Structures are given as C-alpha cells and as structure tokens.
Amino acid sequence: MSSYIIEGGHKLEGTVKISGSKNAALPILAATVLNVGKTTLYNVPNIQDTQMMFKILETLGGKVEKKNNKIIIDTSKINKFEIPEELMHKMRSSVILAGALLGRYKKAIFSYPGGCDIGSRPIDLHLRSFEKLGINVVQNYGNIICDAEKIKGEKIDLDFPSVGATENAILASVLAEGTTTITNSAREPEIIDLQNFLNKMGAKIIGAGTNEIQITGVKKLKDISYNIMPDRIETGTFLCLAVATKGNLILENTNAEHITPVITKLQEAECKIEIEKNKIKINSNKKIKALDIKTMPYPGFPTDMQSVFSAMLTTAKGTSIIVENIFENRFKYVDELTRMGAIMKVEGNTAFITGVGSLAGAQVAAPDLRAGAALVIAGMAANGFTVVDDIVYIQRGYERFEEKLSGLGAIIAKVDSEKEERKFKLKVGWVLD
C-alpha cells in the first residue's frame, strides 16, 4: 500500500496549474455513450477515477485512445448495457453510466456503486427519476435491472438537489421522446459543464445552474471535441495548502466564480486574495482567524471542502465551528488530526476546532479522498515528519499531487515499500530507530 511521507514546516511558494475537474469529467465520460461515434476530450485529469471510467467504457465495447493532452473515445461499437459489478464497487460515479446506457439502449443492468465511505448516499433518487421517465426498475439480489419500451419526457421533482440524480436524469432524457423538466435540480458548475458538453453534441438542454432544468429530446448526437472545466475542489485544496504553510501561491487554469463561498471564508479569515481571469493569487503570511462554516448544496459551502478547511483551521486563532449538513460520516478524519495534536470535538453533525500553536508529525491514514488531502495539509503545516497511509483514496481525485507539491517547495515523497520509506527518511535526515 502506497503512502506519502512529508517533512512539515516548508512554506509553499510558486505557481501551480489546476487540473481538469474530476466531478465534471466523469459524467461527461459517461455521456459519450449517447453518441454513436467519436468524442475528443481535453483537460481530462489523469486520476484513478477517470482510469476506472475508461476501463468500464472499454468493457462495454468502447475504445479509449490517449494522445498527448487529449482523450479520444469511440463509442460506435458499444454493444453491452451491463456494468460489471466488480467495477461498480470501485467507484461510486460509475452509476452515472446507467442514465447514459438507458438513453442509448433503453436498458441498463448495474449493482449498487462503491466509493468513499462518507455516509449514506442512496441511489433511490436516481431510480425514482428513471421510473418517472417510464423506465421499469427491478432490484434483484443486489442487481438493479432497468428497461423501457420507450423513454418519454416527464416532470421529475427531486426531493433533494442530488448531483448524481440530476446528471442521471439528464442523460436518460437527452434522446427521449418529448420534454423532461427536472425541478429542485442540483446547481453545481459541473452540471453546467455537462449541459454545455451535451448541447455542443446536439442536445437541447436549458436551465443548468438553476433549480429547474429542461431537456427536449433529440434523435441523435454528433461527434465533437470539448475542454473539461477546471477542478474547483483542487483549487480550494491548494488555497488551503497556501494558508496552512503561510505561503504564497498563484493558481492557474481555474475559475474563482466556482468557489465563491470558499474565497469568501478565506477572506473572512484575513487571507489576501487577488482574482484575475483564470487565475487566483493568495498571500497568507500570518496566523488566520477562526471560522464558522456550514456545508450546503451549491451555491453554499461545499461539503468536499469541509475536511480540508478543518485541517487548515487546526492552528487558527480561536475556536472554529463546522456544521456538516450533507454527509453524516464526513468527520472520520478527526481522530487522525488529533494524533497530530489538533484539539477537536465532534457533537452530532458539528465539529469544534480549538486552534493550537502547531501540529506535530505523526503516522495517519486517509479514510476517504478529501480527508486524505486534509491530512496532507496537516502534514505540510506540522513540525517534523508525517506519514499518510492509504493514499489510494487521494489518488482517486488529485492528479500528480505529490509532483505539484514538490514543485512548490514541499518535501514529500510517495513510497510503495518499507525500503523506499527508509531511503527517503535517511535522505531528509529522519532519525531512524
């Protein structure tokens, strides 16, 4: 199992290019199934989740060609509508393929998806949306079998603005008969990116970014090329890394409008931020103020940034309060941070963080993707050395993470064996037992 070894106490300085969005790329990759042809994509992040999606597409009969900075996906010969169970269990976003397969074949067979254990994430909203469109849904011993004679546009009222359910409803409706209206839809920028992608292919979708989306079905789609939006969560992570290390960073290939609540909170903590076109500059050379944060669906504060902010706030002045309103298991990292000297207490869905003078390096383990990034942030800020185990979670969502950090002045290495770990420790002067 791979780990990160980090020598803390090094200020991050320089320029970092933000990768393409994981959460935009995955539904767009699924959406290629709707086109009987070739799609060329740019700015697709090279991470484990996209590699898994490529594998699923190939299993279904598609071809994925990687050429320099572009991905060419040929879906003309896709001939299957069943997603292999072992692949479904490795990545939650694989469920988005269900809507695309239904759109193309009016059939889809899949199992319950896997992914990070951050709380209950049922797919009942997805299934109810399918049923609204006239799709028969049968759950049989863990398998979900969906089929329809025809898919007909209908009004879908979501009980909660679920991103995945919104995406699946869109994908299932693009080639449907008539018009589908989704109310209480998710408003995330990734939904807008999916709409823009599909419309460029010939779909007729309006309303993405609002709480009502309308899809008028079309007969077929066409071959296009498309550039994936930048990753707003990676953007927020590097901003917090700058703050935690009292560093100065310039973030390129990003969009500040996508993370307005994140920037607002950083400014509230007295960070200096300058925003230019596709660029954010942050200067953080002093201890920040404590914050009160409540996670909410977009355009509120993103749940994916909650753990990252918590790590940053462990050394803030005063006591921070973070309320998690989206996922109930999103505080699993707290025990790991307390190993490093953080003072944190969790009561229900609320975490109380009392700032300390400094953290101390320790051996910790990533419980999920964003919590793993939070532990890296803590390790960067801590005195001494930190080992972050189970970084497979981090690799699911951050492209070339350790490489980007090293380029900014971090002392970090990915090791795959005790021999490599020992070599790194000796190199940086770690006193061995």
Q: Which residue in this structure is represented by tokens 């462990």?
A: 314
| Percent residues over pLDDT 90 in the chain | 86
Nearest to 226 by CA among 64, 28, 19: 28
User: Is residue 176 a part of any domain in this protein?
Assistant: yes
- The answer on 131 and 39 residing in a single domain is yes
Q: Which residue has the tokens 């970090």?
A: 412
277 with 400, same domain: the answer is: yes
Does one domain contain both 58 and 179? yes
Provide the pLDDT for residue 372: 97
We report the CATH number of the domain holding residue 163 as 3.65.10.10
pLDDT in tens, 364-391: 999 999 999 999 999 999 999 999 999 9
On whether both 162 and 250 belong to a single domain, the answer is: no
Question: What is d(CA 270, CA 277) in angstroms, rounded to the nearest whole number?
Answer: 22
As a whole number, mean pLDDT of residues 58-66 equals: 96
**CB-CB neighbours of 94 under 10 Å:** 25
Single out the catalytic residue among 116, 146, 240, 271: 116
Gap between the Cα atoms of 308 and 320, Å rounded: 13
DSSP states along 282-351: EE--SPPBP-EEEB-STTSB-GGGHHHHHHHHTTSBSEEEEE--S-TTTTTTHHHHHHTT-EEEEETTEE
Q: 161 and 274 share a domain?
A: no
Residue 33, pLDDT above cutoff 60: yes
Is the pLDDT at 179 greater than 90? The verdict is: yes
Question: Which of 317 and 123 is assigned the larger pLDDT?
Answer: 317
| Annotation says 240 is catalytic | no
- pLDDT over threshold 70, residue 62: yes
Q: Given this model, what pLDDT does residue 215 score? A: 98
pLDDT at 420: 82
Domain that holds residue 69: 22-227
In the chain, count H helices and then E strands.
15, 23
Same domain assignment for residues 296 and 177: no
Give residue 119's pLDDT. Answer: 44
Residue 409 forms part of a structural domain: yes
Percent helix / strand / coil, the chain, rounded to 5: 35, 25, 35
- 209 and 77 in a common domain: yes
Q: Same domain, yes or no, for 193 and 339? A: no
- Tokens 């999920």, located at residue: 368
Q: Are residues 111 and 37 in the same domain?
A: yes
Residue 235 has pLDDT above 80, yes or no: yes
What pLDDT sits at residue 227?
98
* pLDDT for res 69: 85
- Global confidence as pTM: 0.95
What's the confidence (pLDDT) of residue 381?
Answer: 97
171 and 266 housed in the same domain: no
Instruction: Say yes or no: 222 and 243 in one domain.
Output: no
